[in-house]
């Protein structure tokens, strides 16, 4: 992988970590006075993560196969966590 690919993957993983932290906090109960700020932060991280993941779905993106797979793993990890939260 190139340095740029690794940077994109690292950023996607950081955004995923922030999204998962929101899910944990939500399941533990976010106080009403902190919910709006937590929600706004979540939305920023969620959309940032998805913008980076979208590169893996773009034809001729310039990603290597390893880079594409790494981003798709971030997507799969998110889906797994989201589904667990819903159940």
Please tell me the pTM assigned to this model.
0.93
Tell me how far apart the alpha carbons of residues 87 and 84 are, in angstroms, rounded to a whole number: 5
The whole-number average pLDDT for the span 9-19 is 99
Query: What is the per-residue pLDDT across 32-65, written as a single tens digit (0 to 9) for each?
Result: 999 999 999 999 999 999 999 999 999 999 999 9
């Amino acid at each position: 992988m190139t340095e740029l690919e690794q940077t994109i993957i690292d950023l996607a993983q950081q955004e995923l970590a922030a999204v998962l932290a929101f899910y944990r906090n939500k399941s533990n109960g976010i106080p009403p006075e902190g919910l709006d700020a937590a929600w706004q932060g979540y939305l920023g991280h969620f959309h940032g993560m998805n913008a980076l993941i979208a590169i893996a779905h773009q034809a001729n993106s310039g990603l290597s196969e390893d880079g594409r797979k790494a981003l798709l793993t971030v997507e799969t990890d998110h889906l797994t966590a989201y589904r667990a939260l819903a159940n």
